[in-house]
Each structure stands twice: as C-alpha cells, then as structure tokens.
Structure 1
Amino acid sequence: MLVAIGSPLVGIPILLLAVAGLWLMRPGRTRYRIRAPRRPARISRPRTASISGYQAMTPGQFEHALADLCRRDGCTQVRVVGGAGDLAADVLATTPDGRKLLIQAKRFGPNTTVGSGDVQKVNGTYRDIHHAQLAAIVTTNRFTKDAEALARRVGIRAYDQHRLASWASRTGPAPWQ
C-alpha cells in the first residue's frame, strides 16, 4: 500500500476500496435477511357469533355446556345442580387450584339482560349456602350497568356474551382465572 500511495492514480482507488471494505465490515451493520412470506391477516369475526350455539340451547343444555367448559379447562368434581330450588347455583366445580366455584347460568334471549337482583341472589348464597370461594354469572347476553357494578363490588365474576365467547374459544380466561 505504501508503494501505491506514491502514485495518486493507483493509490486513491486502493484507498477508497480499503475504506469501503472497512465500512461494510463495521460492527452493528444491518444485514439483509430472507424473510418468510407474511401470513394473510386473520379475518376478525364478531365475538358474539361464536355463542350462537349457546343461544340456541335450552337453559338446561346451557348449564351442561358450561359444566363441559369447566371440565375442559381442568376443573374436577363438576356437577350440574340447576333447576327449581337450586338456590342460585347451576354448576358447582373445583377449580384446578382447588377452590370451589359456583356458576349461575343465564341463557337469555337478545332482549333480556342480567339485572342486579340476579347478582344479589348469587351473592346471598354462594358463600354461606354452597360454601364456594368463587362465584360467576355467565350469560348469553349482557349485564345492566347496576348489575356489573354490584358484581364488581362484591367480587362476583360477570361473564357476558363477549367474555363467554372468549372463554369458549380459549382466547380469554375462564371465570376462575
């Protein structure tokens, strides 16, 4: 290289090549990668569409379907106890971490909502009568604002149609999580 410096016609191109080579080999330089083709975007569907099967069930079938979801997600000692005189309990189960869970199922049509009276009934029985540590009300529709506020205040899990759809499709948590 020292010989080439003596001749500008040879030295300058060699110097430029050396500087360019050092620049290309510098640390932290971004290297181009071959990337896998992108997956097509998922078509988002309304979450309520996946509960149409639940809405078509009878109340008794809905209770059994919720019991099946509990079993699927690791609950044991799952019993459907709904019916006349059930004292606000439709499904009783033991969660995977050992807590006793009470579920009140409300399979309602599109124009019926869960009101604060339903939350009050569950709150009045789940601890003292059924000896449960957790309670959830699961509906195929929605809760009134008063019912949501009361459930939040007393620690009852309120699962409306959207949360039910998430639980059923495994994209959201189960009521005991």
Structure 2
Amino acid sequence: MTIPGPRERSGRQSPFSLRQLTLCFGLIAALICGAGLTVRAVTAAAADHPGRALAMGAALFMAAAVLRRRHRLRQAAGVREYAGVPVSGPTVAEPSLMPAYESMSPDEFEAAVAELCKRDGCSDVQVTGGAGDLGADVVATAPDGRRVVMQCKRYSPGHKVGSQELQRFGGTCFAVHGAHTATVVTTSEFTQPGAEYAAQCGIGCFGADELAAWAAGTGPSPWDAER
C-alpha cells in the first residue's frame, strides 16, 4: 500500500520556504532603494535645473489629474441618455460627447439640443427647424422668462460656421423671432469673422467645447452664458 505524502494527507501547500521569503524581502529592499535614488536624483535636478524640474512636476500633476478623471468617469453610473448623449448624471465633461453629437442627423441634433433646454428648466420648448424656419431651429422660454432662439449646426470638426451663416441668423433671430437671447450651437467651431460679427450683434456662439460642457453640466447654458 502506498503511503500518502504530506500534501495528499492534509491538503495543505508545501512547507514554508526560507528562500522565497529572502527573495521577497530582497525585492522590497530593491524597490525602496530605487525609489530613494529616484527622489535623490529629482532633488538634485531641481537644484541644478529648476525650470526643467518645474516642467516635470507639472507633467506629473497633469497625468495624475487625467487618471483621477478617468477613474471618476468609470465610477459614474445611472446616466440618462438622449440619442446616446448623457443629459443628466455625473457633472464631468466627457470628450466622447462630441462623437455622439457628430453621429446624429441634423434633426436628431436639434432634438438633442431641445432636450438640454428642457433639462435645464426651459418651458414651451419647440423644435422648429426645417423648411421655412427662418433660422430658428429651437425656441424656448428660459426659466427667467426670456425668449430663447437657437440655430443648430451639426457640422464636422473641420467645417466651421462662417460669417454669412451668422448674418442670416442675425437678420431674423431678433426682428422676426423676438429673441431675448439668440445663440448658434454647433458641433464644430466658428471662423474669426463669424465670431466677430456675432459679438457685434449680441449673438452667442456655442462651439464644441461649450456644447460638451453644457451637456455634461460643467458649463453654463446658452442663455446663462450671455449674462
């Protein structure tokens, strides 16, 4: 009859190994030593080259901030979506918002902007875009009673909203639609002449960055931004 060995008899692992313990402590000591040498080297570099050390510190800080931000986004839950775009929930600007908007049709984008207006307390929200809209795609009443008129431009990043488009909107938003606050909202950007014309006429310019911040809850709405 075969006599079972220690492992077969008790089901435990092999006996304690002094060699493994020594290797473990050696690895820990090496890591501590390496960290100490790194700190010493950084301190010496800071004394000799303060500008370079400052730049390195800023880079490390930015990297840490990015990691913390990604962690917060992974932890966020319960986000209600409209057409693939979060309209409530975590108040962290999410860069992937823009690809979601850019994948929409013009009609879907207008509806998404209208949903953002409803989310932020507007009443009488209407999507009026289409033939004969005279430049108004979304009209609403702001929480403070002002009439909000918006034109929505779902453009690709390289297609900027120009001066002629803003001039056409400027010719109708106040005189025809009676806007108290008028804004062009786009998934792209504005040309410099277009932005200058808008500033002269009191028209708000909401580009990709402003739109993403508004959708995520970290930036103002178009009617609040004009204040």
Shorter-chain TM-score category?
Answer: 0.7 to 0.9
Q: State the shift of 1:107 in Å.
A: 0.2
Q: State the shift of 1:66 in Å.
A: 0.3
Segments of 5+ residues of structure 2 without an aligned counterpart are 1-64, 74-91
Q: Which residue is 2:121 aligned to?
A: 74
Length-normalised TM-score, structure 1: 0.74
In structure 2, distance between residues paired with 1:48 and 1:160: 13
Going from structure 1 to structure 2, the CA distance change for 1:170 and 1:46 (only over 3 Å counts) comes to closer
Length-normalised TM-score, structure 2: 0.58
Going from structure 1 to structure 2, the CA distance change for 1:46 and 1:128 (only over 3 Å counts) comes to closer
Q: State the shift of 1:128 in Å.
A: 1.2
Q: Which residue is 1:138 aligned to?
A: 185
Q: Which moved more, 1:44-53 or 1:106-115?
A: 44-53
Q: State the shift of 1:42 in Å.
A: 2.3
Aligned residues: CA RMSD: 2.0
Segments of 5+ residues of structure 1 without an aligned counterpart are 1-38
Q: Which residue is 2:146 aligned to?
A: 99
| Number of matched pairs | 139
In structure 2, distance between residues paired with 1:114 and 1:153: 16
* Alpha carbons 2:101, 2:109 under 8 Å: kept: yes
* Alpha carbons 2:149, 2:183 under 8 Å: kept: yes
In structure 1, distance between residues paired with 2:198 and 2:131: 23
Q: Which residue is 2:204 aligned to?
A: 157
Whichever structure has more helix as a proportion of its residues is 2
1:56 and 2:103 correspond = yes
Which one has a bigger Cα radius of gyration? 1
Q: Which residue is 2:131 aligned to?
A: 84
1:110 and 2:157 correspond = yes
Q: Which moved more, 1:96-105 or 1:40-49?
A: 40-49
In structure 2, distance between residues paired with 1:135 and 1:64: 17
**Percent of aligned pairs with the same residue?**
44
- Over 6 Å off, 4+ runs: none
